[in-house]
Chain A
Amino acid sequence: MKDLQPKGLPATAAELAVATPEGVIFRLPLAGPAPRLYAMLLDTAIVLSAVNGLGYLVYWIFAKVPGLGAMTITLAEFAIGFAYGALLEGFWNGQTIGKRLFHLRVIDQSGLPLRIEQAWVRNLMRVFDALPFAYLVGGISVLSSPIMQRFGDRVAGTLVVRETPLAAPTEEAWNNQKYNSFTMYPALTMRLRGAATPELAGFIQDALRRRNELAPYARREIYRDLVAYLQTEITTFPDELVEMLSDEQYLTNAADVLFGNHARREFTVGTRR
């Protein structure tokens, strides 16, 4: 099955990298088996509810000819079972209701939207992926594929990606302050920049960004602990400065040193315009 994987696309366990003709590489996060299973269970529930609802209607319409009613409902159940996924994915840009709710999308493995015939092929191939029970074959295929394809996806040349909503990063608060008292101590500032690990820097960033999500008591505790840690383990600013600053202001200054204008002022070479 190795032969079925797209060539020339550097893929990792969690992402597919697509190289565009313009030479730009973008990465698409792949959907793991768990969200795909949840989406499938939800879709199955929707199909079963639709079929049951239809069943009541059909039995009511064909009350005097129950055999014809049974025939209609059996055929409709069968057709809906296959057509639900194929039609929705084909006409709704790779999403069923379950996939939309779990932020999943089926796409062509070249990064383009899938075509209707691909949607049909991957859904008809479910008869094989569902073998011998509970999608065991399909599940093994997903786990063994570097781009998490079940057999239906391998044949149709499709894959399932995660699509969590993203917004452009907003302006950070620490960029808005005009003066940073830490810059009075260049050596200590340099030490802070050099000694802070990316994890610690990220932690400070998160703590400030989530300011309004935290309860006042929790915020005070977290900020105080962070300041204490920075003062004792990373760099010790003079007491006369620290006493003048609130914990939040201390962290804002530190974030400005690590990420903000003061972090780049000395190193910026230039931008395009």
Chain B
Amino acid sequence: MILDLQRFQAQERPCWTKLESLLVQLEGRPDRRIKPAETELLQELYAQTAADLNRVTHGALAPELRRYLERLVARAYAELYYASPTRSELWQPRRWMNIFRSFPEAFRRQSQYFALAVTVTILGCALGGFAVRYDPASVNVLLPADYLRNPGLRVRQEENGQGRHLDSAQIEAAFSAQLITHNIEVSLLAAALGVTFGIGTALLLFENGLLLGAVAVRYTQQGFGLFMTAWLLPHGAFEIPSILIAGQAGFYLARLLLRRREDRNMRESMREWLLLIAGLAMLLVWAGLMEAFFSQHHAPVLPYGFKVAVGLAELALLTIYLLLIGRRDPRAEALTSGLAGNQ
């Protein structure tokens, strides 16, 4: 069928104009909600314009008109088929307040990926520890920084206050911000590396474990185990679990991408991934503050026993938070699911 383009345009133009003005009106609304009467009108105009597009596509050589109608149909389609955000959407302010509860819930739901992250890190730790213990030559490769290679020197400097560059609360505050941003960036990278099907995430965790294992064995070998624990634990109690949670998010993403497209619930999965990132960012803010304001002070200012006790208390609180917060009573849950099943 060959289309009488002029007559066709003259007949249909009022419909297109009406649709265009309706779209301008709808697109201008920040909440993107449509009233039922508007939906009906939109549906009607959309159907007519879509049919017009089909006619132009198959019946006339009119590229400009086709592009115009395509744009119009695309905009109407977006308005019509886009489900407006509901109350449960992540961006709702109430939801943001719930993040303290939602994060541990997401953590528990995806605990198998956390276990994988822990396993990879422990493997790295074991290799680093064994290498330093049985091959002293590997120290130079694994621990390039001088302060890590020579624990005795480091401990003397720290205890005498020579190595301490943090001589005031002002510098400590600035230092804490640097630590927070750097740690979040590294964790985010570990989580994003899930896109490499988890290989990048695993390598990052393994390298992190390698360094940790090597430092732990090196310091313990030379009798500075307590110093090292008191030095690392107050901030490490939050920092190390955070990088493990980043690994958890990375492996979760990798598993999601390995699934068949039709088996993915992208919306839910993205929310889960974002919850893990938001949670670890919260933990790293605390870790950064502790590292700058607390960890860098040593005996005799802060006794090592006290620092270790603080670190252990933090670890216990974090464990309780991750394992218990938001956990529902199993009996109440069974009752709810039973009621849902009866409906």
Partner of A22, one of B7, B47, B171, B173: B47
Residue of B nearest to A81 (CB): B181
Q: Is the CB of B73 within 8 A of A65?
A: no
Among the 9-residue stretches B83-91, B127-135, B140-148, B232-240, the one with 4 or more Cβ atoms under 8 Å from chain A is B83-91
Task: Give the chain A neighbours of B67 by CB distance below 8 A.
Answer: 166
Among the 9-residue stretches B149-157, B223-231, B264-272, B305-313, the one with 4 or more Cβ atoms under 8 Å from chain A is B264-272
Residue of A nearest to B77 (CB): A20
Task: Give the chain B neighbours of A115 by CB distance below 8 A.
Answer: 85, 89, 267
Task: Give the chain B neighbours of A70 by CB distance below 8 A.
Answer: 173-174, 177
B residues 65-95 near A (Cβ < 8 Å) are: 65, 67-68, 70-71, 73-74, 77-78, 81-82, 85, 89-91
Whether, in the assembled complex, A151 has its beta carbon less than 8 Å from a beta carbon of chain B, the answer is: yes
Residue of A nearest to B275 (CB): A117
Whether, in the assembled complex, A168 has its beta carbon less than 8 Å from a beta carbon of chain B, the answer is: yes
What is the bound-complex CA distance between A154 and B267, given in angstroms? 14
Q: Is the CB of A116 within 8 A of B2?
A: no
Partner of B195, one of A18, A24, A111, A128: A128
Q: What are the interface flags for A259-272 relative to B under an 8 Å C-beta threshold, 1 for contact and 0 otherwise? A: 01100100111111
CB distance from A104 to the nearest CB of B (A): 15
Contact of A24 with B270 at beta-carbon distance under 8 Å, contacts A75-B180, A112-B81, A155-B253 already known? no
Q: Is the CB of A268 within 8 A of B195?
A: no
Whether, in the assembled complex, A74 has its beta carbon less than 8 Å from a beta carbon of chain B, the answer is: yes
Whether, in the assembled complex, A26 has its beta carbon less than 8 Å from a beta carbon of chain B, the answer is: yes
Whether, in the assembled complex, B162 has its beta carbon less than 8 Å from a beta carbon of chain A, the answer is: no
What is the bound-complex CA distance between A172 and B29, given in angstroms? 35
Q: Is the CB of A169 within 8 A of B62?
A: yes
Contact of A157 with B266 at beta-carbon distance under 8 Å, contacts A67-B170, A67-B174 already known? yes
CB distance from A86 to the nearest CB of B (A): 10
A residues 35-73 near B (Cβ < 8 Å) are: 65-68, 70-72
Among the 9-residue stretches B100-108, B115-123, B182-190, the one with 4 or more Cβ atoms under 8 Å from chain A is B182-190
Q: Is the CB of B68 within 8 A of A167?
A: yes
Among the 9-residue stretches B48-56, B214-222, B320-328, the one with 4 or more Cβ atoms under 8 Å from chain A is B48-56
What is the bound-complex CA distance between A154 and B2, given in angstroms? 41
Whether, in the assembled complex, A78 has its beta carbon less than 8 Å from a beta carbon of chain B, the answer is: yes
CB distance from A44 to the nearest CB of B (A): 17
Partner of A117, one of B1, B90, B180, B188: B90
Q: Is the CB of B54 within 8 A of A24?
A: yes
Q: Is the CB of A124 within 8 A of B82?
A: no
Task: Give the chain A neighbours of B177 by CB distance below 8 A.
Answer: 70-72, 74-75
A residues 144-198 near B (Cβ < 8 Å) are: 151, 154-157, 166-169, 171, 175, 198
Whether, in the assembled complex, A125 has its beta carbon less than 8 Å from a beta carbon of chain B, the answer is: yes
Whether, in the assembled complex, A3 has its beta carbon less than 8 Å from a beta carbon of chain B, the answer is: yes
What is the bound-complex CA distance between A155 and B53, given in angstroms? 32
Whether, in the assembled complex, A127 has its beta carbon less than 8 Å from a beta carbon of chain B, the answer is: yes
Whether, in the assembled complex, B3 has its beta carbon less than 8 Å from a beta carbon of chain A, the answer is: yes
What is the bound-complex CA distance between A256 and B68, given in angstroms? 22
Task: Give the chain B neighbours of A154 by CB distance below 8 A.
Answer: 195
Q: Is the CB of A26 within 8 A of B74?
A: yes
Q: Is the CB of B68 within 8 A of A118?
A: no
Q: What are the interface flags for A108-126 relative to B under an 8 Å C-beta threshold, 1 for contact and 0 otherwise? A: 0001110111101100110
Task: Give the chain A neighbours of B6 by CB distance below 8 A.
Answer: 171, 175, 260-261, 264
Among B32, B169, B261, chain A packs the most CB atoms within 10 A around the CB of B261
Whether, in the assembled complex, A107 has its beta carbon less than 8 Å from a beta carbon of chain B, the answer is: yes
CB distance from A224 to the nearest CB of B (A): 27
Whether, in the assembled complex, B13 has its beta carbon less than 8 Å from a beta carbon of chain A, the answer is: yes
Contact of A74 with B261 at beta-carbon distance under 8 Å, contacts A128-B195, A169-B65 already known? no
Task: Give the chain A neighbours of B188 by CB distance below 8 A.
Answer: 124, 127
Q: Is the CB of B62 within 8 A of A26?
A: no
B residues 271-298 near A (Cβ < 8 Å) are: 271, 273-274, 277
Whether, in the assembled complex, A91 has its beta carbon less than 8 Å from a beta carbon of chain B, the answer is: yes
CB distance from B164 to the nearest CB of A (A): 15
Task: Give the chain A neighbours of B82 by CB distance below 8 A.
Answer: 112-113
Q: Is the CB of A18 within 8 A of B85?
A: no
Q: Is the CB of A269 within 8 A of B2?
A: yes
Partner of A68, one of B170, B185, B192: B170
Q: Is the CB of B173 within 8 A of A67?
A: yes
Q: Is the CB of A271 within 8 A of B7?
A: yes
CB distance from B103 to the nearest CB of A (A): 15
Residue of A nearest to B168 (CB): A67
Q: Is the CB of B70 within 8 A of A67?
A: no
Whether, in the assembled complex, B244 has its beta carbon less than 8 Å from a beta carbon of chain A, the answer is: no
Q: List 21 A-B contacts (CB under 8 A).
A: A3-B261, A18-B74, A22-B50, A26-B73, A65-B173, A67-B170, A67-B171, A67-B174, A74-B178, A74-B181, A78-B184, A93-B32, A120-B270, A128-B195, A154-B195, A155-B253, A157-B266, A166-B67, A169-B65, A267-B2, A271-B7
Since A117-B90, A198-B61 are in contact, a sample of 13 more A-B pairs with Cβ atoms closer than 8 Å, ordered by chain A residue number, is A26-B53, A26-B73, A65-B170, A67-B169, A93-B27, A113-B32, A115-B85, A120-B270, A154-B195, A166-B68, A169-B9, A171-B6, A264-B6
Q: Which 10 A-B pairs have the closest CB atoms?
A: A67-B170, A74-B177, A70-B174, A67-B173, A128-B192, A71-B177, A24-B50, A116-B91, A71-B173, A78-B181
